[in-house]
C-alpha cells in the first residue's frame, strides 16, 4: 500500500472511514486513558477525524500525524482555526492553540519532533495498514511515544469477504505486537456499525494497553 493510495482517497473524497461525529467507542471508553486536562494525546494517521474536536473539548492537547495535507487543511478549516505552518524537513507542522498536526510519513516522525505524549488513541492507524507493515508501525509508535498508554480500536472479520482498509487484525496479532511492552486488555466488543457490518459482519474491539 503506497502513499498514492491515500492521497487518491482524499483527492477523490472516498473517505468512508471518516465519521461525522466523535467515535462512539471513544466517547464510551475515553476514561480508560486516565488522562487529565492539559495532557497531550497522540492520534496516529488521524485524517480529519471529529475525535480531535471532542478531545479538545475535554481540555486536552491533541497531536496527530497524517499523510494527507488536504485532510489536515480541512481539519483546521472545520475547527475554524488558522494554523501556523512550519516545514520540518520531510514533515510539515500545523499548529494552533492546543492542537499540533504533523503532515507526512509517520515513519519520518521521531520522538524529539513529536514531543511529550501522555496517551495514544489509535482508532484508524493499525487497522489502516496491511499486515506486512503493522509490526514496523507498532514498534515505531512505541519508540516515538516512550511507550505511552493506548486506547486501541480494532476490527475482527473474515478478510475474504472485504478488502481492507480497514483490515481485520486478530487478537493473536495484537498480543504479538504489543505484549512485550504493555499489558494488553480487551475491554469491549461490539458489532461494527453501518456498511462494514452489512458487508462482513465485523466486530470492533476496544483495547487498553498500559
Establish whether 10 is an annotated binding residue: yes
In residues, how long is the chain?
Answer: 210
Q: Is 66 annotated as a binding residue?
A: yes
* Rounded Cα–Cα distance for residues 120 and 43 (Å): 6
CA distance 69 to 59: 25
The burial of 2, by beta-carbon neighbours within 10 Å (0-12 exposed, 13-18 middle, 19 or more buried), is given as exposed
**Which DSSP symbol is given to 156?**
E
What predicted TM-score, i.e. pTM, was given to this entire model? 0.92
Pairing assessment for the beta strands 203-209 and 184-191 based on DSSP bridges: antiparallel
Tell me how far apart the alpha carbons of residues 104 and 148 are, in angstroms, rounded to a whole number.
Answer: 22
Per-residue pLDDT of 105-131, as tens digits, reads 999 999 999 999 999 999 999 999 999
Which residue range is the domain that position 99 belongs to? 3-11+20-29+37-209
Task: Report the range of poorest mean pLDDT among 51-65, 103-117, 155-169.
Answer: 155-169
Given a contact cutoff of 8 angstroms between Cβ atoms, the answer to whether 175 and 169 are in contact is no
Domain count, the chain: 1
Q: Which residues contact 180 (CB under 8 A, 6 or more apart)?
A: none
pLDDT band, residue 163 (cuts 50/70/90): confident
- Is 65:46 a contact under the CB 8 Å cutoff? yes
Ligand-binding site membership of 45 (annotated): yes
* 103 SS3 class: strand
Q: Provide the pairing of β-strand 91-96 with 40-44.
A: unpaired
* DSSP designation for 193: P
CB 17 within 8 A of CB 166: yes
Domain at 128, CATH number: 3.40.50.150
**What pLDDT is attached to residue 104?**
97
Residue 161 is predicted with a pLDDT of: 81
Task: Determine contact, residues 22/54, Cβ cutoff 8 Å.
Answer: yes
Could you read off the pLDDT of 10-34 as tens digits, one per residue?
A: 556 554 554 678 999 999 999 999 9
CB count, 10 Å around CB of 165?
A: 17
Amino acid at each position: 500500500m503506497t502513499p498514492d493510495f491515500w492521497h487518491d482517497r482524499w483527492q477523490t473524497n472516498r473517505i468512508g472511514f471518516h465519521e461525522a461525529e466523535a467515535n462512539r467507542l471513544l466517547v464510551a471508553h475515553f476514561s480508560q486513558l486516565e488522562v487529565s486536562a492539559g495532557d497531550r494525546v497522540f492520534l496516529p494517521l488521524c485524517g480529519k477525524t471529529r475525535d480531535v474536536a471532542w478531545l479538545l473539548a475535554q481540555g486536552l492537547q491533541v497531536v496527530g500525524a497524517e499523510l494527507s495535507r488536504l485532510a489536515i487543511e480541512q481539519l483546521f478549516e472545520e475547527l475554524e482555526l488558522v494554523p501556523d505552518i512550519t516545514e520540518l524537513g520531510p514533515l510539515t507542522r500545523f499548529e494552533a492553540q492546543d492542537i499540533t498536526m504533523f503532515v507526512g510519513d509517520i515513519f519520518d516522525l521521531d520522538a524529539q519532533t513529536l514531543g511529550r505524549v501522555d496517551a495514544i488513541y489509535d482508532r484508524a492507524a493499525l487497522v489502516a495498514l496491511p499486515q506486512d507493515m503493522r509490526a514496523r508501525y507498532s514498534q515505531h509508535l512505541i519508540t516515538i511515544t516512550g511507550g505511552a498508554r493506548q486506547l486501541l480500536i480494532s476490527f475482527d472479520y473474515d478478510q475474504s469477504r472485504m478488502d481492507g482498509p480497514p483490515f481485520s487484525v486478530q487478537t493473536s496479532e495484537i498480543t504479538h505486537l504489543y505484549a512485550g511492552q504493555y499489558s494488553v486488555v480487551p475491554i469491549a466488543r461490539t458489532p461494527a456499525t453501518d456498511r462494514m457490518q452489512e458487508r462482513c459482519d465485523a466486530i470492533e474491539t476496544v483495547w487498553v494497553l498500559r
